Amino acid sequence: MRYLSTRGGVEPVSFSEAVAQGLAPDGGLYLPETFPDLASELNDWASLSYPDLCHAFFRKFATDLDDEDLRKAIHSAYKNFSDPGIAPLVRLNESWQVLELFHGPTLAFKDFALQLLGNLYELQIKRTGKKLCVLGATSGDTGAAAISGLLGKSGVKVFILYPDGKVSPLQERQMTCTGAENVFPLAIEGTFDDAQRTVKELFGDLAFRESIGLSAVNSINLARILAQSVYYLYAWLRLDPAIRNQTTFVVPTGNFGNVFAGWLLTQMNVPIGGFRVATNKNDVLHRLFDSGEYELGSVSPSLAPSMDIQVASNFERLLFYFLEGNSQRVREVMNCFRLEGRYAFENFSIPGFSSSCTTDKEIPEIIGNVWNEYQYLVDPHTACAFKDLPKDQPSVVLATAHPAKFPQVFEDAGLKIPISPVLEALLDRKPVKHRVDVNPSSVRSFIESKF
Ligand SMILES: *Cc1c(COP(=O)(O)O)cnc(C)c1O
């Protein structure tokens, strides 16, 4: 299996190369050249454990990796999850179930991809002997999960930019209290999008990229997307076969990586009912699905900070399929969007997608209602998924983070404050962070000073 760029400017590459590079050299995102047809596998796969399912799925894509290496990388990635089911389904009522994705080491769904990515990087380094420098921007959870996945891995240095004061105090502690020598959390003045732009520009500097072996852990990395497809498949296989094809996955959404990972399965002949894109008040994607207009707003901090995003990087991947693989058109749209901050599609509609947006006022109300009705605590991101969710619609709500990561929201709303021993333990450790100006040359100098 080979991988092509959404912008069509590079020769297709192997799985390992796509993973090592993250962003393609032409500025595009990698996608598989073709899709495996999973229809005939689904029966056999229904009885597999989570790691075995993940392995069976990745064998279709990671065709240049040694199978036993791949198996070990996957099994060790999911060893540190605290729930034996890895991604358990919890029923709330006749129609609704919650897919709990917060049992990994940093208590958010990003662990599913980043625990595995850390192991894939290790394989890569073992094979090529080349060291890697991982650079990413985070609005909170990605940084913590990336750091946890790459902690102490030899041959890897990790630099994570985050907006100072705009991630939750616990998220910041998860990034800064690791004690690891290969990890550098960089606090910047500005928003997540400022951090993301700087990271993108550094990736555009090909000489720099080559010289230090730069790789991306943002959800632009294809391995992350594929690792996330697995829990949709795992959940889908556990649904009542009578309603599988009508079940909607409801996905708290920021960069569009998570929901895109689910949608990819529909391209592999897994008949999923639909996807509901749940945004917070930063509603660029809700407006897109509503009106066909993709228009940049300004980011405003919300109670669901990991979704405070206006440029949804992974949208480019969906766009590629929407434009029927025409990379010339992808470049035009992305260019227009970059220059003018908006693009109006004439008839934007993708079967199976719906959307919602939730204000900060509504988030604590929803948390309270879900608690009162089902004695179930949801975090502020997951809360967005319940906005206007029809009671009779068979739905799987993705719970993207553990509620204990955001105690302030519960305290302010006078609600029961959730706790987690994993987070309590962080309070005793000393934070280490670095302040850097949010421009490519300052960040580059900082990175170079660590080599
Ligand atoms: C990252 C994150 C999201 C958004 O996921 P995307 O893949 O960017 O759409 C939602 N909720 C939580 C808790 C997150 O950490």
Residue 58 domain-assigned (yes or no): no
Distance between start and end Cα atoms, the chain: 35
Residue 68 domain-assigned (yes or no): no
Residue 341 domain-assigned (yes or no): yes
Report the domain count for the chain.
1
Which residue, among 119, 121, 165, has the nearest Cα to 140 in the 3D structure?
165
The pLDDT of residue 308 is 85
108: exposed, middle or buried (C-beta count within 10 Å: 0-12, 13-18, 19+)? Answer: buried
Residue 169 domain-assigned (yes or no): no
The pLDDT of residue 313 is 83
Residues labelled catalytic: 110
Instruction: Check whether 192 has a pLDDT greater than 90.
Output: no
| 103, 114, 141: residue to mutate for ligand 1 pocket, most atoms within 8 A of CB | 141
126: Cβ–Cβ under 8 A, 6 or more apart, which residues?
none
Contact 440, 198 (CB under 8 A): yes
Residue 12 domain-assigned (yes or no): no
Cα four-point dihedral sign 195, 199, 200, 204 = positive
**Which residues does a 6 A CB cutoff place in the pocket of ligand 1?**
108, 110, 141, 219, 252-258, 306-307, 381, 400-401
Range of 267's domain? 89-108+223-419
The pLDDT of residue 340 is 92
Atom of ligand 1 nearest to the CA of 219: 7
Instruction: Check whether 319 has a pLDDT greater than 90.
Output: yes
Tokens of 185: 């959390």
The pLDDT of residue 109 is 96
Residue 314 domain-assigned (yes or no): yes
Instruction: Tell me how far apart the alpha carbons of residues 437 and 241 are, in angstroms, rounded to a whole number.
Output: 53
Residue 16 domain-assigned (yes or no): no
Distance in Å, CA 381 to ligand 1 centroid: 8
Average pLDDT estimate for 204-214? 90
Q: Whose CA is nearest to atom 15 of ligand 1?
A: 141
Q: Looking at the whole model, is its pTM more than 0.95?
A: no
Atom of ligand 1 nearest to the CA of 141: 15
CATH of the domain at 248: 3.40.50.1100
Residue 194 domain-assigned (yes or no): no
